[in-house]
Amino acid sequence: LYCVNDNKKHPPGPRGLPILGNVFQLDPDKPWISYAKWKKIYGDLFQLNMAGQPILVLNSQKVVEDLFEKRSAKYSGRPKWPVANEITGYLDLPLLQYSELCRRMRRASDVALGIKISSNYYRVQSDQALILTHGILNQPDKWNFHVQKASISIILFILYNIPPIQSLSDARVVFMENLIDRTSKALLPGAHLVDIFPILSHLPLFLSKWKREARRDFQGYSKVFEDMFLSIKDKFVKGVEQPNSFSATLAETQKRHGMSDLECAWLAGMLYSAGQETTSTALKWFLLCMTNFPHVQEKAQEELDRVVGRARLPSFSDMKHLPYIRAIVKEVLRWQVPLAVGLPHATTEDDCYEGYFIRKGTICMVNVMGLHRDPEIYGPDADKFRPERYLNDEGMIKDEGKDGHFAYGFGHRICVGRHIANNSLFIAVATILWAVTISPVKGADGNPVKPDLEGDPGIFWRPKPFNFSTKSRFDDAEILIQQAWDDIH
């Protein structure tokens, strides 16, 4: 693309301090609040300067479509994360540059998690929805534990065919969580000197402690991931029959995708971190919404009574007849998006847009929370939780095949697990609402305690701790849930 902009005019943005730029002007906990403020002054596209690193902020649907969708080839890199990249041996798909390896990993994931194949996992998703429902019905005060356990069990089963976990101190969970903790700490801006002075990454190993430690950890993590993947691949090679799993599909298609064992092992391993916390965060917001908006719960339960009845539990075959349940899933992801500013992209080439020069290596953020509350996209009630917005006059889903929100990201980097996530959320929402009435707990004064609608800031936008009470929606619901629970135990 020819850039008419010879004087390299950058997108507008707030004036900052010399050298440090806008570092202290951005609200680190809720960047979308700062973004919304600057949008009013500088418009839909502005640029920040974070100690010399340009950060482009995309603030409207049009700009997002123009850059992240239509020019996805240039806007699909990632920032450089020297320490995290070193710990994961440059094999962590969400952190990879848009390289040949990234494209191979994405193709392999699309095959093993695509819309068709994702029906292979209906069974585990239904079972876990049931166990979760049983858990929150009988132990509402432990709902957090039950949500966590269900989302971990789903992803471990899909990846490696591991049976449901019983406790969060399961060795495999501890291992995965330890790796997530290690990498997310390394991702915090400025956690290591090398983030600020990239030249340090070129020091020889004996002079750089962080690199020695990272490489040592990489070896340890690789050993565990390889053992997990190879135990499944081994069965495939020997022709032993085994249940469907991501790793089994990967082993079958590995040659076609030109992937080494180590690459396959890391691809599977890193899907845990990408898929677990995101799904459980969405489930937590769903429970908060139900505690807070009884009329939505009632409307969903009317639909469930009409379509499923009270003699059996909902299943995936009901999906197309339950548009309101599906609309709730969409609306939860829109209204309280787990990754409020998505994952950062970075430009891989210089670009020119609307007369502005955008240099290669610019980090690009989308104000997803802002888009989700934008009246130009969602109408004057964009701030409200209203699943009906996704339905047409006949009460069916409006744009079948489209998400209708931006929670899964953009362009060439869009979430590869979105079909799995949509299915896990659909069946959990349907099963919980079929069996359970969720209400706020009563405070000391006897009045209902409504949860705080503000989230806890962090990498994930999660609800603040809250409680709700549950009761069986009708007598048989509890019995049927108990029977189904007994059957799978």
308 binding ligand HEM? (CB under 6 A):
no
| Side-chain half-sphere exposure of 218, counting CA atoms within 13 A | 18
Structure tokens at 191: 């956690």
| Selected range binding ligand HEM among 316-324, 357-365, 416-424, 436-444, rule: CB under 6 A | 416-424
- Contact, 348 vs 35, CB < 8 A? no
Task: Identify any residues that bridge with 366 across adjacent strands, giving them in sequence order.
Answer: 58
Report the residue number, 47 or 280, with the smaller CB distance to ligand HEM: 280
147 binding ligand HEM? (CB under 6 A):
no
Binding ligand HEM (rule: CB under 6 A), the pick from 64, 131, 271, 430 is: 271
Backbone angles phi, psi at 169, to 5 degrees: -95, 15
- Contact, 105 vs 211, CB < 8 A? no
Q: Is 219 helix (H, G, I), strand (E, B) or coil?
A: helix
Neighbours of 134 (CB within 10 A): 22
275 binding ligand HEM? (CB under 6 A):
yes
Tell whether residue 415 is among the known ligand binding residues: yes
Cα-only R_g, the chain: 23
296 binding ligand HEM? (CB under 6 A):
no
Binding ligand HEM (rule: CB under 6 A), the pick from 150, 282, 290, 436 is: 282
Binding ligand HEM (rule: CB under 6 A), the pick from 83, 113, 132, 264 is: 113
**429 vs 4: CA distance, rounded Å:** 52
Q: CB neighbours of 393 closer than 8 A, spacing ≥ 6?
A: none
- Give the torsion sign (CA, 489, 244, 410, 218): positive
Report the residue number, 146 or 473, with the smaller CB distance to ligand HEM: 146
416 binding ligand HEM? (CB under 6 A):
yes
| Selected range binding ligand HEM among 134-142, 163-171, 212-220, 276-284, rule: CB under 6 A | 276-284
161 binding ligand HEM? (CB under 6 A):
no
- Positions in 342-361 near ligand HEM (CB under 6 A): 342-343, 345
Residue 312's alpha-carbon distances to 129, 306, 431, in angstroms, are 14, 12, 10
- Positions in 42-101 near ligand HEM (CB under 6 A): 93-94
124 binding ligand HEM? (CB under 6 A):
no
128 binding ligand HEM? (CB under 6 A):
no
- Contact, 433 vs 325, CB < 8 A? yes
Least separation in angstroms between residue 444's CB and ligand HEM is 36
408 binding ligand HEM? (CB under 6 A):
yes
Least separation in angstroms between residue 417's CB and ligand HEM is 2
284 binding ligand HEM? (CB under 6 A):
no
415 binding ligand HEM? (CB under 6 A):
yes
CA dihedral 94, 99, 104, 109 (to 10 degrees): 20
Helix then strand count (H, E) for the chain reads: 17, 10
Neighbours of 65 (CB within 10 A): 14
| Selected range binding ligand HEM among 51-59, 203-211, 268-276, 471-479, rule: CB under 6 A | 268-276
Total interface residues for ligand HEM by CB under 6 A: 26
Structure tokens at 12: 């507008």
Residues at the binding site are 415
Residues at the binding site for heme are 415
Q: Which residues in this chain contact ligand HEM in the complex, by CB under 6 A?
A: 93-94, 106, 113, 271, 274-275, 278-279, 282, 338-339, 342-343, 345, 407-410, 413-417, 420-421
